[in-house]
Amino acid sequence: MADGPAPERADAARNREAILAAALHLVETRGVDCVTMETVAAEAGVGKGTLFRRFESREGLMAAVLNESETAWQARVLSGPPPLGPGAPAYDRLLAFGHSRLATNLTHARLIAAAGRPGARSAAAVSFANMHVRYLLSELGVSGDLLMLATAVLAPLELVVLEQQVTREHLPIERIEAGWDDLVRRIVGA
């Protein structure tokens, strides 16, 4: 820890959490492109100067929001309400997982662009999603190479694929969801 930054004071950490929660809420309700440093500062009840001292720039804030959003989404998968969280049949959880991941990835595509890190992609996020789908496939009694099948289930939800479909081909989300449901049905053999 000798070379690391000094630990945040408790109130600074709370302040940071409040800002990220406000920014994430704005991103999810208004869309990334409508969220400015001013609106985040107002929503979080802090000065604009505080925001810039903490995150340096809109890019820096958006990178932190991206991280916060992924963490919040993983928490909903692991312990949120069903059918995304535990307590629903595995097939329902798998469908809820795909639809939720689709929506989250579309938001993340905008956040990655706003963070100025094109192509940024967390290996930990990929591993989490793959592990969860493998677990659900095994609960469903699917046999085969589950690592490969989970990869096949998740691949159409990749940002590059979704951006092609949504931004270039203007396909409605409902059609992408229905196509993904059909893929899952064929893979699971339900």
Q: Which residues bind a copy of itself (CB under 8 A)?
A: 118-119, 121, 123, 126, 144-145, 147-149, 151-152, 155-156, 158-161, 164-165, 168, 171, 175-176, 178-180, 182-183, 186-187, 189
Closest approach, Cβ 123 to a copy of itself, in A, equals 6
Q: How far is the CB of 125 from a copy of itself (least distance, A)?
A: 11
Give the 3-state secondary structure percentages of the chain, helix then strand then coil, rounded to 5: 75, 0, 25
Comparison of 13 and 147: residue with beta carbon closer to a copy of itself: 147
Q: What's the DSSP call for residue 101?
A: H
Q: 140: helix, coil or strand? A: coil
Distance between CA atoms of 115 and 9, rounded to whole angstroms? 26
CB of 60 to a copy of itself, least distance (A): 21
Structure tokens of 59? Answer: 């890019």
- Sign of the Cα torsion 182, 98, 164, 121 reads negative
Q: Quick one: 55 or 97, whose CB is closer to a copy of itself?
A: 97
How far is the C-alpha of 82 from the C-alpha of 175, rounded, in Å?
23
Q: Of 34 and 178, which CB lies nearer to a copy of itself in the complex structure?
A: 178
Q: Which is nearer to a copy of itself, 9 or 186 (CB)?
A: 186
The gap from C-alpha 180 to its chain's centroid, in whole angstroms, comes to: 18
Look up residue 12 and give its two tokens: 């600074």
Smallest distance, Å, CB 106 to a copy of itself? Answer: 15
CB of 126 to a copy of itself, least distance (A): 6
